[in-house]
Chain A
């Protein structure tokens, strides 16, 4: 398919800009643009066709089943788009005086209350732009908390699980901490002996997802919390897997002191091919003073942004946060009410059902009931037929299904991490089981079919080595003429 630049014709245009016949002040010569940028030049109908054709080459949740582990690809309700697009929200400027933004501030405050109830922690910031930024914020909060207690120099290490999502160690580095890893047992829990050996007076805290990236609830979580708290350290909860436990178990009650949420996972903000998201953070009362500034607060019947926060870590993102995401997540929560619990229960039911039907078809590294996701291994297929998790993933595409997460977590070789989510019907789950079962059989009978998959997509398998070795990251206009100034 052609690039939009390859469809351009000099002189074509789509939009018109208002002009009022006013004189245009001159830009000083040394600041003036010398060469017009080579932006696309198409009429509007062709622009629409271009993006429509691109959409046709893309697969979303709206297209079909999307069991990407740890991403929570649940249905994104359309009503959320309608309400997020209300003029009173989209045409509201962030610098509007608080009196003129009461609807927005009230929505944010209500969202904070619901998030606090879900986490079991009282104080919430909505500012972070994504889960990763929420993690970084959480670590900065830890640093501020300990610095205020004169323990900042001493506590220089964060402990993560060896199954941790890659953002955890990266966040640790960005926050200026050292990293220590703790092992996972054969049952999928943190190794308590290894933990006791590693937690000491230099430990600032733990970063953990529960359930873990293996989809397993840590049965020793109460002891884990005790080990850290007894050393005066804190516990940080990575909320990527929160969809498993809403209304069932609260991170605050598990012993976590800081929690981040992924509104684009648990609370249906559409993934948008890679964003936007939002990563609000909830904390225990003792950490509240350090939350980013400004905070949304309530004074009787009115709401305002509080900038008077002397102990705050500062600002991590512009304005009060990604407000459009808040509208969608708040609307989503209001559609469920207290039945958010049923959302998580069904997520766990759906995952266990698929697990029960696939555990004899692929290798199951941890033979336990799972939570909202589980991990299989294609190691057997690799050993016997030379077929890898990657090949299985590519072949699934031919069945009209988006592959699950592959090669993660790192502790499982040839990993396939499957998270169906609660919005899928039983028929969808059965279709997925059938596809995976047939693929396992194809691996034995016709491995070449899998090695060359996919066969039914707009493109075949790609040369990723070439892309990395000779990076071409923008269109080379080549012989195309420069845009001429319009007569």
Chain B
């Protein structure tokens, strides 16, 4: 059961429909409500390995629904500390709870100042409105 449309305050957003929750020198990454709605029910999350890295603006994995595959774009660069196994095992959790249990990876930031280039809620809502 997909969630209601929402874009929480307190998250930073990337125009390719990814979010980051910054917690000190770490961040949790995922895809936004708009992304999961566009894709439809997810059937597969092609996750990176823990220990790998993310590079800002580059893909770090793929999510797949019946009708489309999409790169997941990293809003920030860092070392991957943990992959959400639940998203791998039950990808539909990303549709149900994209910002909570549907998180994708946790990273240690390698360049925290990159967060300045990300969008806040209002700027991201403007991106969504233009789609």
**Are both chains from one complex?**
yes
Interface residue ranges of A451-468 to B (CB < 8 Å): 464-465, 467-468
Q: How far is the CA of A469 from the CA of B44 in the complex (A)?
A: 7
Q: How far is the CA of A465 from the CA of B65 in the complex (A)?
A: 8
- Kindly count the residue-residue contacts between A and B in the assembled complex, taking CB atoms under 8 Å apart: 15
Q: How far is the CA of A60 from the CA of B19 in the complex (A)?
A: 47
Interface residue ranges of B89-111 to A (CB < 8 Å): 91
Which residues from B are CB-within-8-Å of A464? 66
**What is the minimal beta-carbon distance from A468 to any residue of chain B, in angstroms?**
4
Which residues from A are CB-within-8-Å of B43? 465, 468-469
Residue pairs across A and B with Cβ atoms less than 8 A apart, 15 shown, are A407-B67, A464-B66, A465-B41, A465-B43, A465-B65, A465-B66, A467-B66, A468-B43, A468-B44, A468-B64, A468-B65, A468-B66, A469-B43, A469-B44, A469-B91
Which residues from B are CB-within-8-Å of A465? 41, 43, 65-66
Q: How many residues of B contact A (CB 8 A)?
A: 8
Contact with A along B37-57 (1 / 0, CB 8 A): 000010110000000000000
Interface residue ranges of B32-87 to A (CB < 8 Å): 41, 43-44, 64-67
Q: How far is the CA of A465 from the CA of B64 in the complex (A)?
A: 11
A467-B66, A468-B66 known; 13 other A-B pairs, CB under 8 Å?
A407-B67, A464-B66, A465-B41, A465-B43, A465-B65, A465-B66, A468-B43, A468-B44, A468-B64, A468-B65, A469-B43, A469-B44, A469-B91
- Closest A-B pairs by Cβ, 4 of them: A468-B43, A469-B43, A464-B66, A465-B41
Interface residue ranges of A174-216 to B (CB < 8 Å): none
Q: Is the interface of A mostly helix, strand, loop or mixed?
A: helix
**What is the minimal beta-carbon distance from A162 to any residue of chain B, in angstroms?**
15
Which residues from A are CB-within-8-Å of B67? 407
Which residues from A are CB-within-8-Å of B44? 468-469
Q: How far is the CA of A468 from the CA of B69 in the complex (A)?
A: 12
Which residues from B are CB-within-8-Å of A469? 43-44, 91
With both beta carbons as reference points, the residue of chain A lying nearest to B64 in the complex is identified as A468
**What is the minimal beta-carbon distance from A464 to any residue of chain B, in angstroms?**
5
**What is the minimal beta-carbon distance from A143 to any residue of chain B, in angstroms?**
27
With both beta carbons as reference points, the residue of chain B lying nearest to A463 in the complex is identified as B66
Interface residue ranges of A394-435 to B (CB < 8 Å): 407
Q: How far is the CA of A181 from the CA of B30 in the complex (A)?
A: 28
With both beta carbons as reference points, the residue of chain A lying nearest to B40 in the complex is identified as A465
**What is the minimal beta-carbon distance from B16 to any residue of chain A, in angstroms?**
17
**What is the minimal beta-carbon distance from A130 to any residue of chain B, in angstroms?**
23
Q: How far is the CA of A465 from the CA of B42 in the complex (A)?
A: 8
Q: How far is the CA of A328 from the CA of B27 in the complex (A)?
A: 62
Q: How far is the CA of A467 from the CA of B44 in the complex (A)?
A: 12
**What is the minimal beta-carbon distance from B88 to any residue of chain A, in angstroms?**
12
Interface residue ranges of A462-483 to B (CB < 8 Å): 464-465, 467-469
With both beta carbons as reference points, the residue of chain B lying nearest to A471 in the complex is identified as B43
With both beta carbons as reference points, the residue of chain A lying nearest to B41 in the complex is identified as A465
With both beta carbons as reference points, the residue of chain B lying nearest to A464 in the complex is identified as B66
**What is the minimal beta-carbon distance from A409 to any residue of chain B, in angstroms?**
15
Which residues from B are CB-within-8-Å of A467? 66
